[in-house]
Structure 1
Amino acid sequence: MRGKTGWGWDFTPQVGWYVGYLERGDRVYFFALSMDINKPEDAKARIAITKNILRSVGLL
């Protein structure tokens, strides 16, 4: 699994994202998450939310 986070603070609300891909055997799955950042503590949730989604569909 490889990914990159980002945070755009020139917006209201601020926007955070996490994009990347996951390799499983000979298959590659791409993902993108975008979320509102209402307070700095929200930013750390980007990766956790993505991993929870990937687990729920059986990819992690």
Structure 2
Amino acid sequence: MEFHSQQPIHPTIRKCIQHLDVIKADDKTKQIVYMYMESLLRERDLIAASKQEPIESQIHN
């Protein structure tokens, strides 16, 4: 299964997809795993970004 996107594939996701190839997972399974892992990376990035916000933006009046 090939993934065509503008951004490079994260190394961990690439390795996971390679393992799925080894166990001969079907394309649908690879797609589900890829999408799930991408969503985890997005969540991680959002959490990291929210922790870097200035203190003033975290104060609720």
Please tell me the TM-score bracket, short chain as reference.
0.3 to 0.5
Higher-strand-fraction structure: 1
Q: TM-score, normalised by structure 1?
A: 0.41
Q: TM-score, normalised by structure 2?
A: 0.40
- Bigger relative contact order, structure 1 or 2 (CA pairs below 8 A, ≥6 apart): 2
Answer with 1 or 2: which has the greater Rg: 2
Higher-helix-fraction structure: 2
